[in-house]
Amino acid sequence: MTSQPAERFELVTIRLPVVWTFLGLVAGLALGALLGQTAFIDRILVVSEPIGTLWLRALQMTIIPLVASLLVLGIAQMVGAARAGAAARRFVTLVFIILIASGLTTAVLMPLLLEVFPIPTSAVGFLSEVPEGEQQLPGLGDFVTSLVASNVIAAAADTAMLPLTIFFAVLAIAITRLPEGQRASLLGLFHALGNAMLIIIGWVLWVAPIGVFALALGVAARSGGGAFAALAHYILVVSAMGLVVLFGAYLVAFFVGRKSPLAFAQAMIPAQAVALSTQSSLASLPAMLDSSNRLGLRQSTSEFVLPLAVAVFRATSPAMNMAVAVYVAHLAGVTLNPMLLAAGIAVAFIISIGSVSLPGSISFVISVGPIALAMGVPIEPLALLVAVEMLPDIMRTLGNVTMNVAVASAVDRVGPAD
């Protein structure tokens, strides 16, 4: 009999003006580059810069409450899944290993990639809003003691994301241990909070074309047409980390699932085609089930693992979200020592579990922002990078869909779903 996870949560669905946001970015960069050397640009920036700043702050104000609610719901759902049976426990174990490996891969490879293919000097314009000041690198003792906040409210005020993330993760586990009535009440509260935050962030992102246009105008006025090259470099480098995870899916299918690489590649073609066209793991679920059938997986396994994977597992998230944070760190000249990278990996791991299926623009904001804050990386450049997320998101979906089927093959090899 197929096991079912104990908890299921549905969040509000928001449709966002992704294409208009991208066009706002392009228009702002083009107009800023055109007028950047004229006296007229100063009059425009007097109006556009406050608009861009207001939009950026509106985006930032939703991060902590949205992360809190999604973390509690996502981890509660994961704990519920782990209690559902042996197959679920095998799935959760694989998810943990893959997510940690995903983050570690970027922590090692991304700095090397940026050494070989450095960020264009024209990208300096993205730093216009970054506060200046010498960064204080934490020592080992400071890092360890910072993991637990003595005052959660103060930590939220200081946007200390690592202790906040750990607190809400522990809170989520504690909630799952409460009596059913109390557990339902608290989860209902966080469910409602998450939906309310999604509605607010949906409003903010609906005016993203205006906010991104205003920010891009200032960036291009300072960096000229080179901003286009900088964005192209960013898209390629970040997508490369997703490509590594995609390759890792074939390794999981071969070494753990014992599937021929050629047979796995052929079986994945329909699901990957849907993933490329829809950029949605949920929309790709029927095609993933078909790919599992082509691979000869037990129906009980695929019908249990794949829907659960779509709900709680995004293999590319730690790798690509860490890649964005590391990219911005290099952009801002922030030195990333092993402890800061470890903090980023820890937050990326926990956030990836909590970031349930959301539109790409929203998941970008609530996933990368906390990682950057935990690593001491300025988050202001993210306001422009969100406008091009639609392009790296193709690699995110492709990698996630492929890894989902690879994990299903691995679970199926160990044994059928309970």
Please give, one letter per residue, the 3-state secondary structure of the chain.
Answer: CCCCCCCCCCCCCCCCCHHHHHHHHHHHHHHHHHHCCCCHHHHHHHHHHHHHHHHHHHHHCCHHHHHHHHHHHHHHHHHHHHCCCHHHHHHHHHHHHHHHHHHHHHHHHHHHHHHHCCCCHHHHHHHCCCCCCCCCCCCHHHHHHCCCCCCHHHHHHCCCHHHHHHHHHHHHHHHHCCCHHHHHHHHHHHHHHHHHHHHHHHHHHHCHHHHHHHHHHHHHHHHCCHHHHHHHHHHHHHHHHHHHHHHHHHHHHHHCCCCCHHHHHHHHHHHHHHHHHHCCCCCCHHHHHHHHHHCCCCHHHHHHHHHHHHHHCCCHHHHHHHHHHHHHHHHHCCCCCHHHHHHHHHHHHHHHHHCCCCCHHHHHHHHHHHHHHHCCCCCCCHHHHHHHCCCHHHHHHHHHHHHHHHHHHHHHHHCCCC
**Predicted TM-score (pTM) of this structure:** 0.85
Distance, CA of 226 to CA of 359 (rounded, Å): 29
pLDDT at site 332: 86
Q: Name, of 36-45, 87-96, 177-186, the range with top average pLDDT.
A: 177-186
C-beta neighbour count of 392 within 10 angstroms: 25
Higher-confidence residue of 34 and 260: namely 260
Contact 69/197 with Cβ under 8 angstroms?
yes
pLDDT digits (tens, 9 = 90+) for 288-337: 999 999 999 999 999 999 988 987 899 999 999 999 999 999 988 888 98
pLDDT of residue 1: 39
Average pLDDT over residues 202-228: 85
pLDDT tens digits, 48-75? 989 988 998 888 888 889 888 888 888 8
Q: What is the pLDDT of residues 368-389, one digit of tens each?
A: 999 998 998 988 888 888 888 8
- 18-414 sits in which CATH class? mainly alpha
Domain layout of the chain by residue ranges: 18-414
pLDDT of 188 higher than 80: yes
In terms of average pLDDT, the best of 133-147, 199-213, 361-375 is: 199-213
pLDDT tens sequence across 91-140: 989 999 999 999 999 999 999 999 999 988 776 666 544 444 445 555 66
- Model confidence at 267: pLDDT above 60: yes
Contacts of 94 (CB under 8 A, 6+ apart): 252, 256, 407, 410, 411
